[in-house]
Amino acid sequence: MEPEIRVSYSRMVTISTDEILVSREWRLGLGVWWPFLSDPQRGIQKDLDIKEYTDPYHDPMVPHTIMLEPGLVIHKIYNGYWFWGRPTPGEIRLDLRAISEKHRPDWDLSDPETRARWERGEKEYFFPYGKTRS
């Protein structure tokens, strides 16, 4: 029986209360690859109770960065004020590393069982997981 290897990747998304055109401009200006979602009606803010109550004039959300594992499982949540509550690029890198280590069957190439799988030709355990590299 063939093992079922399902590896998906962690996800990132930015949600803002800006109109969609402003969100797109931010995304393009930053040159990032992940999606930006626009929530000007603040439905997410209300559903998650993340209103930034110290600024009633602008009615912003408390910034949150949520690191997700495959299957949309929450790995870590960063929240807090604008600059010091957000994760650094180094923290994001470490989170992505921890998630990859947990979910990639070929993470530790020094593991004897991983090497034995390779030598037996069980390539489905190695990136790109059953697909050709061409």
Q: Side chain identity at 21, as an amino acid letter?
A: L
Query: What SS3 class is residue 4?
Result: coil
- Which run of H or of E encompasses 130? none
Q: What is the pLDDT, as a whole number, of residue 95?
A: 93
87 vs 120 pLDDT, higher one: 120
Give the model's pLDDT for residue 31.
Answer: 87
Q: Per-residue pLDDT tens for 61-93?
A: 888 888 888 888 989 988 877 677 788 889 989
CA torsion sign for 120, 124, 128, 131 is positive
> How does residue 10 score in pLDDT terms, banded at 50, 70 and 90?
low
* 0.75 surpassed by pTM: no
Tokens found for residue 17: 């209360």
CATH fit for domain 14-103, picks 3.50.50.60, 3.30.930.10, 2.60.120.920, 3.40.30.10: 3.40.30.10
Cα distance between residue 44 and residue 6, in whole Å: 30
End-to-end CA distance of the chain: 27
What's the rounded Cα separation, in Å, for the pair 6 and 115?
Answer: 19
Give domain limits for the chain.
14-103, 106-134
| 12-62: pLDDT as tens digits | 778 888 899 998 998 899 888 888 888 999 998 899 898 888 888 988 888
Q: Which residues contact 86 (CB under 8 A, 6 or more apart)?
A: 63, 65, 78, 80
**Band of the pLDDT at 134, cuts 50, 70, 90?**
low
